[in-house]
């Protein structure tokens, strides 16, 4: 029964004296005001309940969008334990906040021109507004001032191929955004950023730390083959010997390795490069078997040379390319991340890395980026490089996906030992 119906019923059964009192102008007006107010409250309550139910269903049905909303509002609990955070499991969510992307490539002198996609003609910037959200935890938002202080007087070293160099460039630009005097950040040998130099080091003089890159695409030594080797052998990978520049990797505070993209026939057998162990050629050895042996050599070197009480060691797994066919002639860069990985979330090299480090005594932090990167066909360089005639579905635009690798790296570095 509505409030209006109750008031009518009440009037019909009231005594004459009571009826006279209710029918007086003052009481009637007061009663009508109360009745209308009650109806307004009921209507407003219904409206809020309706939209609350709709909103709840919206958040339940579209969790990724609700995560994006809460991230934009800064409501995620970033103080939850990162120890149990499996970055392999999660999804990319839209992330529209003024602080992201974390830097402008055109304002960072340490980004190669070939990775600055917007400056090279890319018109859409949707690829810049996605952030990785692990399922059971959160990657803390990047606080550049805090990170700069924590890196004071440290030495960070990246070792690997061009993907490692891209991550190195990304980290420098992320950190440089928080430095007031940009001239206080410089390459120690005044070198331009190029793929041809085996060593690049950028010093943040105001904070007394360096971020260095050593080019070592296989991690093990590559050199001429043994005497009297068949004519097809131009060089060999000495799987039992670490790269001859490895002495420069020691005495760092953070050491990040990667390898994988050069372990393919086109970079090995088709160029006359084969495998060697000791003085013996291993002409019949498969690439995966050689990769595993090289990792065993690397791991032994870490065990014998790295002071793990000082140095945190990371190994970043293989990040997938997004070529449209095996011949790598077609590069289809999408506008948004894909919903399916098309098998790119599985990689034999990444599996070997996980197996090799599984039972070691040396503490190795594995940055397992294979799965998360498999969805990002939108974030490759494509035709927006400094050589637009040559498409690139291996390397990444900057800013972009490598920034997220670095956010995960820093969160693991500073959240727990």
Structure tokens at 291: 């990769």
Q: Are residues 48 and 94 in the same domain?
A: no
Q: Which residue has the higher pLDDT, 192 or 11?
A: 192
Give me the pLDDT at residue 81, please.
Answer: 45
Percent over 90 (pLDDT), the chain: 66
Is the model's pLDDT at 166 over the cut of 90? yes
Q: Are residues 145 and 29 in the same domain?
A: no
Mean pLDDT of 341-360: 90
* Alpha helices for 102-187 (secondary structure H): 144-150, 162-176
Confidence of residue 7 (pLDDT cuts 50, 70, 90): very low
Residue 12 CB partners (closer than 8 Å, separation 6+): none
Q: Are residues 260 and 376 in the same domain?
A: yes
Output the pTM of the full model: 0.80
Helix (H) or strand (E) holding 91: strand 90-94
Q: Is residue 31 assigned to a domain?
A: yes
Q: Are residues 86 and 230 in the same domain?
A: yes
Mean pLDDT over each residue of the chain, to the nearest integer: 83
What is the sign, positive or negative, of the torsion defined by CA atoms of 298, 302, 304, 305?
Answer: positive
Is the model's pLDDT at 214 over the cut of 80? yes
Q: Tens of pLDDT along 76-104?
A: 333 344 556 687 789 999 999 999 999 99
Is the model's pLDDT at 199 over the cut of 70? yes
Q: Is residue 74 assigned to a domain?
A: no
Q: Are residues 110 and 57 in the same domain?
A: no
What 3-state class would DSSP assign to 118?
coil
The DSSP-derived string for 272-300 is TEEEEETTEE-TT--HHHHHHHHHHHHHH
Helix (H) or strand (E) holding 143: none
Q: Is residue 66 assigned to a domain?
A: no
Q: Which residue has the higher pLDDT, 308 or 15?
A: 308
Structural domain span for residue 407? 82-415
Give me the pLDDT at residue 46, please.
Answer: 53
Q: Are residues 282 and 407 in the same domain?
A: yes
256: β partners = 158, 314
What 3-state class would DSSP assign to 154?
coil
CB 181 within 8 A of CB 231: no
Mean pLDDT of 155-173: 97
CB 397 within 8 A of CB 380: yes
Q: Is residue 75 assigned to a domain?
A: no
Q: Are residues 127 and 261 in the same domain?
A: yes
The DSSP-derived string for 343-381 is TTT--HHHHHHHHHTTT-SS-EEEE--HHHHHT-TTSEE
Give me the pLDDT at residue 248, please.
Answer: 97
Q: Tens of pLDDT along 235-251?
A: 999 999 999 999 999 99
Q: Among 5-9, 319-323, 350-354, where is mean pLDDT lowest?
A: 5-9
Structure tokens at 149: 């202080």
Structure tokens at 379: 């974030």
Q: Are residues 56 and 138 in the same domain?
A: no
Give me the pLDDT at residue 196, please.
Answer: 80
Is the model's pLDDT at 68 over the cut of 90? no
Give me the pLDDT at residue 83, please.
Answer: 57
Q: Is residue 109 assigned to a domain?
A: yes
Give me the pLDDT at residue 274, please.
Answer: 97
Q: Which residue has the higher pLDDT, 106 or 416?
A: 106
Give me the pLDDT at residue 326, please.
Answer: 62
Q: Is residue 72 assigned to a domain?
A: no
Mean pLDDT of 243-261: 97
Longest dimension (CA), the chain: 126
Give me the pLDDT at residue 410, please.
Answer: 96
Q: Which residue has the higher pLDDT, 228 or 202?
A: 202
Burial class (CB in 10 A: 0-12, 13-18, 19+), 60: exposed
Q: Is residue 411 assigned to a domain?
A: yes
The domain total for the chain is 2
| Closest of 249, 225, 363, 355 to residue 295, by C-alpha | 355
Q: Are residues 18 and 161 in the same domain?
A: no
Q: Are residues 239 and 347 in the same domain?
A: yes
Confidence of residue 416 (pLDDT cuts 50, 70, 90): low
If you search the block for the tokens 């692990």, which residue do you land on? 134
Confidence of residue 49 (pLDDT cuts 50, 70, 90): low
Is the model's pLDDT at 74 over the cut of 90? no
Give me the pLDDT at residue 76, please.
Answer: 34
Q: Which residue has the higher pLDDT, 294 or 225?
A: 294
Give me the pLDDT at residue 45, please.
Answer: 55
Q: Is residue 155 assigned to a domain?
A: yes
CB 126 within 8 A of CB 358: no
Q: Among 92-101, 144-153, 319-328, where is mean pLDDT lowest?
A: 319-328
| SS3 assignment for 239-268 | EEEECCCHHHHCCCCEEEECCCCCCCCCCC
Give me the pLDDT at residue 1, please.
Answer: 44
Q: Which residue has the higher pLDDT, 63 or 289?
A: 289
């Amino acid at each position: 029964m509505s409030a209006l119906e109750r008031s009518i019923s009440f009037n019909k059964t009231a005594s004459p004296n009571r009826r006279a009192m209710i029918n007086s102008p003052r009481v009637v007006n007061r009663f009508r005001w109360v009745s209308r107010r009650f109806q307004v409250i009921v209507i407003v309550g219904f409206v809020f309940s309706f939209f609350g139910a709709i909103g709840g269903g919206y958040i339940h049905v579209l969790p990724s969008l609700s995560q994006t909303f809460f991230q934009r509002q800064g409501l995620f609990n970033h103080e939850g334990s990162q120890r149990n955070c499996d970055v392999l499991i999660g999804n990319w969510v839209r992330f529209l906040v003024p602080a992201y992307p974390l830097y402008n490539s055109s304002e960072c002198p340490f980004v190669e021109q070939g990775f600055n996609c917007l400056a090279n003609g890319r018109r859409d910037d949707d690829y810049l507004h996605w952030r990785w959200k692990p399922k059971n935890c959160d990657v803390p938002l990047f606080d550049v001032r805090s990170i700069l202080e924590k890196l004071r007087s440290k030495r960070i070293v990246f070792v690997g191929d061009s993907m490692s160099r891209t991550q190195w460039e990304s980290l420098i630009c992320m950190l440089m955004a928080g430095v007031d005097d940009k001239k206080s950040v410089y390459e120690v040998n005044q070198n331009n950023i190029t793929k041809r130099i085996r060593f690049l080091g950028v010093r943040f003089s105001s904070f007394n730390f360096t971020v260095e890159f050593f080019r070592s695409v296989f991690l093990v030594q590559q050199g001429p083959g043994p005497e009297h080797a068949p004519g097809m052998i131009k060089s060999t990978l000495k799987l039992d010997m670490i790269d001859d520049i490895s002495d420069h990797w020691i005495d760092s505070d953070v050491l990040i390795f990667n390898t994988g993209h050069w372990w393919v026939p086109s970079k090995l057998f088709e160029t006359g490069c084969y495998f060697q162990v000791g003085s013996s050629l291993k002409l019949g050895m498969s690439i995966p078997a050689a990769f595993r042996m090289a990792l065993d050599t690397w791991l032994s070197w870490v065990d014998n040379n790295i002071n793990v009480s000082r140095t945190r060691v990371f190994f970043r797994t293989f990040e997938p390319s997004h070529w449209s066919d095996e011949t790598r002639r077609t590069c289809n860069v999408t506008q948004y991340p894909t919903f399916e990985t098309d098998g790119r979330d599985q990689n034999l090299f990444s599996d070997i890395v996980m197996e090799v480090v599984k039972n070691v005594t040396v503490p190795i932090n594995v940055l397992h980026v294979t799965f998360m990167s498999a969805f990002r066909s939108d974030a490759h360089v494509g035709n927006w490089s400094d050589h637009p005639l040559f498409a690139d579905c291996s390397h990444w635009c900057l800013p972009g996906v490598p920034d997220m690798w670095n956010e995960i790296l820093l969160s693991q570095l500073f959240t727990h030992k």
